[in-house]
Chains A and B, each alone.
Chain A
Amino acid sequence: MTDENTPGAAGGSAARRRRRGLARAGPFAAAAAVTVLLAGTAVAGGERETEHGFAEGAQFRILAPADPGGGWDQTAREMQAALRDQVGRAEVYNVGGAGGTIGLNQYARLPADPTELMVTGLIMVGAIETSGSEVTMDDTTPLARLTTDYEVIVVPEGSQVRDLADLVDLMREDLKAVSIAGGSAGGVEQILAGLIAQEIGADPAEVNYIAHAGGGELLSTVLSGRSTAAVSGVSEILPQIEAGRLRPIAVSSAERLPMLPDVPTLRESGVDVELSNWRGVVAPAGISREEERRLEDLIMTMARSRGWQEALDRRGWGDAALAGPEFEHFLQAERKRTTEVLDRIGLT
């Protein structure tokens, strides 16, 4: 960097100084306005006392362990809206990255404060295994499962593959020649591809899985017709299916989905696999039993509220509210199954 500065005229007339003062105020006033605005959205309205009596006057904070725009962020922000009647204004903040494990790492360091919540889900369970994170779900207090999103297997519109049986035949013939595009390595889509391979007696580690960071990149690969098939969350890819650009051949749910009534489940097609990309909520480790029970009540009341039910409809999420010991058993089972398949894929 060369210094090409000319010495400025110090002082000057009063008028000039006034103009300069104005110039000086401009950008900083703008900056200050934004700062106030941002701070305002975070702080305003947090003073209300909660009916549930958590830390009088304290505001709930919800950690979305992903960047703005994704499923966890949407879940956190829908919770923020649906909880308003019960706890007033909650704050949502994002700590994105690495399948939620970066957020989890930060969350695990929080004190046992019941007003600190975090959104979680199957992707985090998988990411903990693949990244070898030292912090696990054991470092949180699981509260409830809230929603499910199912996965759909699609092929390009001009594909020779007409149904799942065709795809399975191709996979049996030459597994590596069947490229399956999906989300990030170790995520729900790869787990599903691995489970299918395992079920048809193939080696999950041999699946030619093409990972993508986001829905946009994934769509660019599938729509260009370069991959044999793709796996995606139903809501993300539904518009392409409705427009006829992609053909759905199977869904990962136990029963057919209302938005895709003509698409058979994996089970119907002879592959005994069921997988849901569930999302839920946890509290910090070390909160008391009583606090845990009240938080679960709070979440389940929210899950029954009209605002939440409307959010489910709007987002196309399945209602999967489940709390207490049932949720903890479910979580254990999911951890076991995920670890097994990721082990076999060779991702742990």
Chain B
Amino acid sequence: MAEIASLIDGFGAALSPVNLLWALLGVTIGTAVGVLPGIGPALTVALLLPLTFRLDPAASLIMFAGIYYGGMYGGSTTSILLNTPGESASIVSALEGNRMARAGRGAAALAAAAIGSFVAGTLGTVGLTFLAPVVAGIAVDFGPPEYVALMALAFVTVSALLGRSLLKGGASLLIGVTIGLVGIDEQSGDARLSFGLPALLDGIDVVVVVVALFALGETFTRLMRGTGGETVEPVRDRAVLSRSDWRRSWPAWLRGAALGFPIGSLPAGGAEVPTFLSYSAEKRLSKHRSEFGRGAIEGVAGPEAANNAAAAGVLVPLLTIGLPTSATAAVILTAFQSYGLQPGPQLFSESGPLLWTLIASLYIGNVMLLVLNLPLVRMWARLLTIPAYAIYAAVLVFATLGTFASGGTATDLLVLYALGLLALLMRTAGVPVAPAVVGLILGPLLEQELRRALALSQGDPAILVSSPLTITLWVLMLLALALPAVARLVRRDVGAAPAREEGEEAFTRS
């Protein structure tokens, strides 16, 4: 087990007091920027990059990895407490987490997210340590047809996010797909739905849409309704996580990690798809299905774990084939290069010790994040005791600042506020906003990969089922479609009471 020996050497280097300090600095900055909507880890690392040219490479990579993991942690906090996801991967946490927070269980939701992040982050790092070459080998077989099948599977499973009314959920999904169409079409180079505005040529940044739909929508809805003086009782329970919370959370953490790591490792990875899949899986499997939509702890634990495991997964293609699959990974790649390291298949043999130090520091960073976040959970939850007007004023300020910081143009702000008003309309009409984000993320991916696949085959649709991987994924999709129907049939055969039947129906759709 050469890996273990190398890893121990890595720990030896990472555990030096100075490197621990860099890791601590990294996770602290990471958590803070994760909390702010719009300012993500990518921008932070890019800004810090020139400051670290004189640093020892190990120290700065350790700090960047800390920022990266910390950002994932921080994003969940605002999602849960304020229903304001700072980045697209923590949208799903907002769904159940915010309900829990409003029911006085904010601390439990935060703890489930923090421990889940720790468990999944650690499992993901273990996966990175031992499975990286294997996973990279499989991931390389993912071409356009395989992505089409994966996206179709994701689309089918996210029906769980659609909410009570299929029609309203579907409308929201289409709004998202439409927003996703804005900008230059990748294959033809033609501009779509850009209305001649140069700033729209590159499409609308997912972060801007997320901040608008969630943060501004929430704020505007408040403005229309409340007096603004109300607050929420932040902590109802004595223990942060009750025994039953633990029992319900741990399988969700493991399942989330199992979904997040492999999907995050794919060359076109991303953390959103596994969080969607995890949420649907938890909802299907839960014994407390009726709680979904009202604050089910599995709905926070699973997606948060998936999110963090995916963050570790993203490092697999980065370190093994030199392929950045997220904005932050791209910036970390730049950092690698500025220290003369060439990420790629030879990285492990050429720069082994440095890499193992980095991996060891990921384990350490995870522990630090847990230590940093868990005791603060109750304190963060108390944030809710601030009267609503103050909270939402701050949300508005930071949403605006963050959007301007990431985009840098006044048009971004116009788009932000226009979409915020759209969100207000949607909320007033009872249309859920989460499916719009799903459509926005999955729609363009599915479209581009489908067109690429068909161009590769010169229009022959047989390419979509041309490999064992694609067939497996399509079968999974059919199963996901058929299972609820089959389950209903079986139940009918056993002769369930009609009243219960109706209840089940409502739950599966809710």
Q: Which of B144, B340, B427 has the most CB of A within 10 A?
A: B144
In the assembled complex, which residues on chain B have CB atoms less than 8 Å from the CB atom of A135? 198
Q: Which of A68, A131, A133, A179 has the most CB of B within 10 A?
A: A68
Least distance between B148 CB and chain A CB atoms (Å)? 12
Residue pair B325, A216 in contact (C-beta under 8 Å)? yes
Q: Is A158 an interface residue (CB 8 A)?
A: no
Interface of B is mostly: helix
Out of A101, A177, A212, which one reaches B186, CB within 8 Å? Answer: A212
**Which residues of chain A in 123-150 are interfacial with respect to chain B, using CB atoms and an 8 Å cutoff?**
130-131, 133, 135
| Chain A window 236-271, contacts with chain B (Cβ cutoff 8 Å), 1 for yes, 0 for no | 001110110100000000000000000000000000
Contact of A133 among B35, B198, B345 (CB under 8 A): B198
- Taking CB atoms and an 8 Å cut-off, the chain B residues in 11-65 that contact chain A are 29, 31-33, 35-36, 39, 42-51, 53
Q: Is B244 an interface residue (CB 8 A)?
A: no
Partner of B46 from the list A68, A130, A225 (CB cut-off 8 Å) is A68
Set A101, A105, A221: member contacting B144, Cβ < 8 A: A221
How does the 8 Å CB contact mask read for A1-25 relative to B, with 1 for contact and 0 for none?
1011111110000000001101110
- CB-CB under 8 A for A33 and B456, given A212-B186, A216-B268: no
B455 touches A28 (CB 8 A): no
Q: Enumerate chain A residues within 8 angstroms of B264, measured Cβ to Cβ.
A: none
Selecting from A89-97, A290-298, A323-331, the interface stretch reads: A89-97
**Structural contact, B232 and A219, CB atoms closer than 8 A:** no
Interchain nearest-CB distance for A104 vs B (Å): 9
| Contact, CB under 8 Å: B408 / A5 | no
| Chain A residues whose CB sits within 8 angstroms of the CB of B334 once the complex forms | 68-69, 73-74, 77
State how many angstroms separate the Cβ of B245 from the closest Cβ of chain A: 19
B248 at the interface (CB under 8 A from A): no
Please determine whether B322 and A5 come into contact, CB atoms closer than 8 angstroms.
no
Note all chain B residues with C-beta closer than 8 A to A166.
none
Q: Is B305 an interface residue (CB 8 A)?
A: no
**Which chain B residues (135-156) contact chain A, with CB distance < 8 Å?**
140-147
Our pick among B39, B324, B376, B408 for the contact of A216 (Cβ within 8 Å) is B324
How far in angstroms is the closest Cβ of chain A from B75? 13
| CB-based contact A184/B386 at 8 Å | no
Is the CB–CB distance between A68 and B331 below 8 Å?
A: yes
Q: Are B345's CB and A41's CB within 8 A?
A: no
Q: How many A-B residue pairs have CB under 8 A?
A: 234
Given contacts A77-B49, A186-B189, A216-B323, contact A3 B382 (CB under 8 A): no
Is A110 among interface residues, defined by CB-CB distance under 8 A?
A: no
For window 84-123 of chain B, which residues contact chain A by CB distance below 8 Å? 99, 102-104
B383, A220: Cβ atoms closer than 8 Å? no
Task: Give bound CA distance, A38 to B405, whole Å.
Answer: 10
With A24-B386, A95-B408, A315-B337 as known contacts, state yes or no: A239 contacts B345, CB within 8 Å: yes
Provide the bound-state CA to CA distance between A95 and B226, in Å: 38
Q: A19, A33, A102 — which one has the most chain B CB atoms within 10 A of its CB?
A: A102
- Say whether A215 contacts B323, CB under 8 Å: yes
| B199 and A102 contacting across the interface, CB-CB below 8 Å | yes
Give the docked Cα–Cα distance between A225 and B467 (Å): 12
* Residues of chain B lying within 8 A (CB to CB) of residue A179: 455-456
A30-B31 in contact (CB<8A): yes
Complex partner residue of A105 from B141, B198, B325, B342, CB under 8 angstroms: B198
Q: Could you tell me the distance between the alpha carbons of A208 and B183 in the complex, rounded to whole angstroms?
A: 22
Known: A208-B458, A216-B267. A69 touches B330 (CB 8 A): yes
Q: Does A185 contact B (CB under 8 A)?
A: yes
| Contact residues in A for B191 (Cβ distance below 8 Å) | 131
Q: Which residue of the partner chain A has the closest CB to B139?
A: A220
Q: Which residues of B327-345 have CB atoms within 8 Å of chain A's CB atoms? A: 327, 330-331, 333-334, 337-338, 340, 342-345
Q: Nearest Cβ distance between residue B209 and chain A, in whole angstroms? A: 15
Per-position binary interface string of chain A over residues 189-212, scored 1 when its CB falls under 8 Å from any chain B CB and 0 otherwise: 000000000000000000010111
- Alpha-carbon separation in the docked complex, A131 to B231 (Å): 50
Q: Do A226 and B382 form a contact, CB below 8 Å, given A38-B405, A69-B334?
A: no
With a cutoff of 8 Å between Cβ atoms, the chain A residues found around residue B232 in the complex are 5-6, 8
Are the CB atoms of A1 and B201 closer together than 8 Å?
A: no
Q: Are B199 and A243 in contact (CB under 8 A)?
A: no
Q: Which A residues touch B330, using CB under 8 A? A: 67-70
User: In angstroms, how far is the closest chain B Cβ from the Cβ of A232?
Assistant: 12
Q: For residue A20, which residues in chain B have a CB less than 8 angstroms away from its CB?
A: 382, 385
B456 touching A30, Cβ below 8 Å = no
B221 within 8 A of A: yes
Could you say which residues of chain A place their CB within 8 Å of the CB of B201? 97-98, 101-102, 131
Q: Which of B145, B202, B231, B342 contacts A5 (CB 8 A)?
A: B231
Q: Would you give the shortest CB distance from B99 to chain A, in whole angstroms?
A: 8
Residues of B within 8 A of A95 (CB): 407-409
Question: Is the CB–CB distance between B409 and A239 below 8 Å?
Answer: no
Classify the interface of chain A: helix, strand, loop or mixed.
helix
Given A1-B427, A239-B344: A19 touches B382 (CB 8 Å cut-off): yes
- A239 to B267, Cβ gap below 8 A? no
Does B346 touch A at the CB level, under 8 Å? yes
Contact with B along A279-299 (1 / 0, CB 8 A): 000000000000000000000
Residues of B within 8 A of A7 (CB): 230-231
A347 on the interface (CB 8 Å rule)? Answer: yes
Which of B141, B233, B398 meets A8, CB within 8 Å?
A: B233
CB distance from B230 to the nearest CB of A (A): 5
* Cα A6 to Cα B321 with chains together (Å): 52
Determine if A240 and B29 form an interchain contact, defined as CB atoms under 8 angstroms apart: no
**Contact assessment for A28 and B50 in the assembled complex, using a CB-CB cutoff below 8 Å:** no
Decide if B180 is an interface residue (CB 8 Å cutoff).
no
A26 touching B383 in the complex, CB below 8 Å, given contacts A97-B201, A101-B201:
yes
C-alpha gap A106/B201 in the complex (Å): 13
Which B residues touch A9, using CB under 8 A?
233
Task: Say how far B34's CB is from chain A's closest CB, in angstroms.
Answer: 10
Q: For residue B104, which residues in chain A have a CB less than 8 angstroms away from its CB?
A: 6
Asked if residues A211 and B187 are in contact (CB atoms below 8 Å), the reply is yes
B426: min CB distance to chain A, Å: 11
Q: How far is the CB of A43 from chain B (nearest CB, A)?
A: 12
Q: Are B327 and A77 in contact, CB atoms less than 8 angstroms apart?
A: no
**Residue pair B198, A102 in contact (C-beta under 8 Å):** yes
Residues of B within 8 A of A33 (CB): 32
Give chain B residues whose Cβ lies under 8 Å from the Cβ of A74: 334, 337
Is A120's beta carbon under 8 Å from chain B?
A: no
A69 touching B408 in the complex, CB below 8 Å, given contacts A5-B231, A216-B268, A221-B144:
no
Q: Mark A144-168, 1 if CB is under 8 A from B, else 0.
A: 0000000000000000000000000
Return the contact of B36 from the options A8, A34, A92 (Cβ within 8 A).
A34
Pick the contact of A34: B33, B49, B230, B387 (CB < 8 A): B33
Which residue of chain A lies nearest to B183 when distances are taken between CB atoms in the complex?
A: A98
| Cβ contacts A to B, 6 pairs, < 8 Å | A1-B218, A69-B330, A95-B409, A98-B184, A239-B321, A245-B345
- Which residues of A come within 8 Å of B, CB atoms? 1, 3-9, 19-20, 22-24, 26-28, 30-31, 33-35, 37-38, 41-42, 67-70, 73-74, 77, 80-81, 92-98, 101-102, 105-106, 130-131, 133, 135, 176-177, 179, 184-186, 208, 210-213, 215-217, 219-221, 223-227, 238-240, 242-243, 245, 314-315, 347
Closest 4 CB pairs of A and B: A239-B344, A97-B202, A224-B143, A8-B231
* Besides A101-B198, A221-B144, A239-B322, 11 other A-B contacts (C-beta < 8 A): A23-B380, A26-B379, A30-B35, A35-B401, A38-B405, A77-B334, A80-B50, A102-B198, A210-B456, A226-B143, A245-B321
